[in-house]
Amino acid sequence: MNYQIPITQTKNPHWTKELVERGEFGAVISDHMFVSNYENGKWINPKVVPYENLSLNPATLALHYGQSVFEGMKAFKMQDGSVSIFRIEKHLDRFNKSLDRMCMPTIPADLFHAALLAFVKTDLNWVPEGDGHSLYIRPFVFASEARFGVKIADEYMFIIFAGPVGPYYGSPLKIKVETHFARATRGGAGFAKCAGNYGASFFPTKLAKEEGFDQILWTDGRENKYIEESGTMNVMFIINGQLITPSTSDSILDGITRDSILSLTNEMDMPVEIKKISVDDLEKALKANQVSEAFGTGTAAVVAPIESISINGHNYILPAIDENAFMLRAKKKLMHIRTGAEADKFSWNTIVE
Ligand SMILES: Cc1ncc(COP(=O)(O)O)c(C=O)c1O
């Protein structure tokens, strides 16, 4: 279907250069948003409108039973001044897998493309430039039907809004391997980017922060034996010169930054092993000083160096990161591809015309 998306420009833009360049993650939202409703089995009335509050009925189903799914993606200012959106198809694929898991209607590819392009085009002046700066885009769908029985909703809203962001974490992370709480378990919804996964992770993360850590390194929900992921990032280790990362599963989010970095390893001559990593094996490697790098990967952080890993009360300090570290080279390469300084061999960028 060829979606025509009407655009209503705001009469009160709050755009300033200072807001676009501010760089604080999550603090600034641009002037417009995309909205579409799902009714009678169809996505209807797609439009770009001025950013505004929603008026919600207190019985809105998403608020009670958690049918709410989101994505996090980015648009970049290219070297030639154009704007590109990173890996639309891969984000849509994950979005739809999450929506399916939560019994929510999926988004047709042509609607997602048309919505993103119309929206980003309208707020093109909100895309910042500079190293580590980008427009963070938040597509989400929630159950908008108002009823108070526990049920799969029949009505939904699909919204996209965005805000300019800078680098996510300032300093390297102190991480604690969590062996009591679980983020997700086998057969659960850990692979889905659904709101409840985040709400449930707050309490254990808060406890870890009170102990002086920045983030939790989650382990599997069955035995607390295998490393899964960390906060809003997948994790990677360089052990004996080889990049090792947990295989994705139904309890790990299939990260797009993870996938992008793995795709670059070949040309960066970095051998890779994707496997289940036990906490015991990680601890043995840390004890033997075989871990030269540990880092998180995610759209928000891109690459976040890990400074220390605590396992059952033993704190292991990782070597200081030198400028030749794989994580920094991978981050730079990714940035170069996204901004056009390097060829986009994998066709990851969609230019906003
Ligand atoms: C739980 C979780 N794991 C991993 C990631 C990293 O995924 P991506 O690289 O697609 O941002 C995210 C962020 O989206 C996340 O929320």
Residue nearest to atom 1 of ligand 1 (CA): 232
What does residue 196 show for φ and ψ, rounded to 5 degrees? -60, -35
| Closest to 201 measured CA to CA, from 191, 215, 213, 186 | 215
- Name the residue with the closest Cα to ligand 1, atom 2: 232
The atom number, within ligand 1, closest to the CA of 259 reads 9
Q: What is the pLDDT of residues 317-346, one digit of tens each?
A: 999 999 999 999 999 999 999 999 999 999
Mean pLDDT of the chain: 96
CA of 258 from ligand 1 middle (Å) equals 9
DSSP 8-state class, residue 295: E
At residue 161, does pLDDT exceed 60? yes
* pTM for the model: 0.97
What is the distance in A from the centroid of ligand 1 to the CA of 118?
25
Whether 235 and 246 have beta carbons less than 8 Å apart is answered as yes
Q: How far apart are CA 9 and CA 69, in angstroms?
A: 27
* Closest protein CA for atom 15 of ligand 1: 232
What is the per-residue pLDDT for 298?
Answer: 96
Position 2 scores a pLDDT of 81
Tell me: the pLDDT tens digits for 57-107? 999 999 999 999 999 999 999 999 999 999 999 999 999 999 999 999 999
Mean pLDDT of 130-140: 95
- Looking at ligand 1, which residue's alpha carbon is closest to its atom 4? 233
Question: What confidence tens digit (pLDDT) does each residue in 177-199 have?
Answer: 999 999 999 999 999 999 999 99
SS3 call for 50 = strand
CA of 253 to the centre of ligand 1 (A): 6
| Atom 5, ligand 1: residue with shortest CA distance | 233
Which of 69, 254, 299 best tests ligand 1's pocket when mutated (most atoms within 8 Å of CB)?
299
pLDDT higher than threshold 90 for residue 301: no
Find out whether 5 and 48 touch, Cβ atoms under 8 Å.
yes
Q: Report the alpha-carbon distance of residue 267 to residue 213 in Å, rounded.
A: 35
Distance 203 CA to ligand 1 centre (A): 19
Mean pLDDT along residues 140-168: 96
Give the tens place of pLDDT for each residue, 144-154. 999 999 999 99
C-beta atoms surrounding 214 within 10 Å: 20
Q: What percent of the chain has pLDDT over 90?
A: 95
267-279: per-residue pLDDT in tens? 999 999 999 999 9
Whether the pLDDT of residue 169 is over 60: the answer is: no
Which helix (H) or strand (E) segment is 311 a member of? strand 302-311
- Spacing, Cα 86 to ligand 1 middle (Å): 14
- 260 has pLDDT over 80: yes
Model confidence at 311: pLDDT above 60 = yes
Ligand 1, CB within 6 Å, residue ranges: 72, 229, 232-234, 253, 255-258, 297-299
CB atoms closer than 10 angstroms to residue 311? 18
Mind listing the domains of the chain with CATH numbers? 17-167 (3.30.470.10), 173-339 (3.20.10.10)
H/E element, 159: strand 156-165
DSSP H helices, 190-325, are 195-210, 256-264, 279-287
Cα separation of 97 and 82, whole Å?
31
Q: How far is the CA of 2 from the centre of ligand 1 (A)?
A: 31
CB atoms within 10 A of CB 307: 16
Q: Whose CA is nearest to atom 13 of ligand 1?
A: 232
Atom nearest to 300 CA in ligand 1: 11
Are the beta carbons of 307 and 319 closer than 8 angstroms?
Answer: no
Please name every residue paired with 163 in a beta bridge, in sequence order, or none if there are none.
136
* Residue 4 CA, distance from chain mean position: 28
304 pLDDT tier (thresholds 50, 70, 90): very high
Does 170 have pLDDT greater than 70? no
Q: Could you tell me which of 158, 189, 221 has the C-alpha nearest to residue 65?
A: 189
Region of poorest pLDDT, from 163-167, 244-248, 306-310: 163-167
pLDDT at 308 over 80: yes
What is the mean pLDDT of the segment spanning 225-249?
96
pLDDT of residue 225: 96
